[in-house]
Structures are given as C-alpha cells and as structure tokens.
Amino acid sequence: MVPFGRPISELNGKVVWITGASSGIGEALAYLLASHGVKLVISGTNESRLRLHFFVTEANQTPVNLLLLQNYNSKDIKDFSVHEKQFNAVIKHFQRLDILVSNAGRSQRASFETIDIEVDKEMFDVNVFGLINLTRIVLRYFLDNQMKGHFAVTSSTAGKLGVPNSGSYTASKHALHGYYECLRVEAQSRGISITMLCPGPVFSRVLENAMSNKLDSSHEVEVMTKFEEELGSDMRDDRHERAVQ
C-alpha cells in the first residue's frame, strides 16, 4: 500500500508560521513540528502560554529554532493592523517563510433565532477576515519571490455540514472554503498549495472562549467541564507542568 501524503521529515529546515498556537491544535502542531527540525513562528493571544513553549522544548532538550510573536493587542485578535508588522518580523528573523498555518479562531454556541447580528459580524472578523488579510500579505510575498508557498487552514467538519446551535461559527467555516478554494484555482499554476483541515470534535479549551448569542456573553462550558470530570483529574492538570517533571 502506498502511504498517504509526504513524510514529515521533508519539513526539516522549513519556516512554518502557526497562528492560534497558544493551545489546542496549534499548540500540539507546534510541538510536533519542533521535534522534526522545523523553524517555527508561533503567534496567539495568550502570551504566557506561548512563552511556555520555549520552556517545555528546552526542558525536553528539543532543539528548536523558534520565534514568538505575541499579538500587539492581545485582547483583539481581529486587529488587522498587526499582520504586516508580524510578517515583517518573521522575514527579518528567518529571512524567509515557507508555510502559513492559519489556525486562529473562536467557536460559538447559540440557537439560531437568538443570535444577534453583531455576533455574526464578530465571528467573521475573527474566523474569516483576519485569516484572509494575513493570507493575502503572505501570498504577495510568495508570488513576488516566485516561491512554491503553502497555506494550511484549520476549518472544521462544520465547514462542510450544517451544525445545530452553531450558526455563526458554521457559516464562518463555510466561508473559508469559498475563499481558499477560489485561491486554489487562481494560484495553483503558480506553485501555491492549499490544504484545508476539517477536524471533528477535538479535546481542547476552545469552548472556554466560545461566543454565544450576544457580544457580551459567553457559552457555559458545562459539557466540557463534565467531560473533564469523567476523564479524571489527570486531564485537568496543566500539560506543560507534567511535560517538564
């Protein structure tokens, strides 16, 4: 049987920028790539957790060339004005960028008829327009330098199917497919690759920051809390503390 995809060893020495690397999928991917010699750029809204990545990789004696980019306004991940500054910082540090992993975003839970339109706007600013703005900055760099760049985008099964009680979130993930499938058609002949990642439910802290039906409210994470209790206290321990023991 022919193995699917290409070996991760091919990424050795590549410069990969992961947004939304503070936790969840982005965090796990950062540790995996670091163990395979990838030059990492990580950004996110939780600076303390990003800095722990340095600490854990050093404690585990994992050789890693890593640049940390905390958001200039950590309370507002849809502040598009920071994207150009962050991109310039990446090029200044590594002199190149090969892959952008767009993983930043928020979830949302509410009944369709109760959702305020401002929630829809906020969700699209965070989950769609922020990613697209940064993608266009990096795309121009790839094209201007005639590079075979790669964009990996964290979508969701909600980007392919209708998910109840997550109308704004589901719509934002569908929108990502519209944008990036268009880019795939336009840029494929110029050496640009697109990978859309569509995971199902993932054990992470995403629901702790989920939006609800109003901008000033957040989702009660009773399901997540119950899930953690069923798994036991070990799952509630901070993974970073366990990693360096």
* pLDDT tens digit sequence for 171-212: 999 999 999 999 999 999 999 999 999 998 877 666 677 888
- Position 230 scores a pLDDT of 40
Residue-wise pLDDT for 24-65, tens only, equals 898 889 889 988 889 999 988 777 777 776 655 555 555 558
Catalytic residue among 72, 169, 179, 180: 169
Tokens of 198: 């569509």
Q: What percent of the chain has pLDDT over 70?
A: 77
* The overall pTM is greater than 0.75: yes
How many angstroms separate the CA atoms of 176 and 181, rounded? 8
Q: 12 pLDDT exceeds 80?
A: yes
pLDDT band at 6 (very low <50, low <70, confident <90, very high): confident
Better pLDDT: 170 or 35: 170
Which structural domains are found in the chain, ordered by start? 8-243 (3.40.50.720)
Respond yes or no: is residue 141 known to be catalytic: no
* pLDDT tier for residue 4 given thresholds of 50, 70 and 90: low
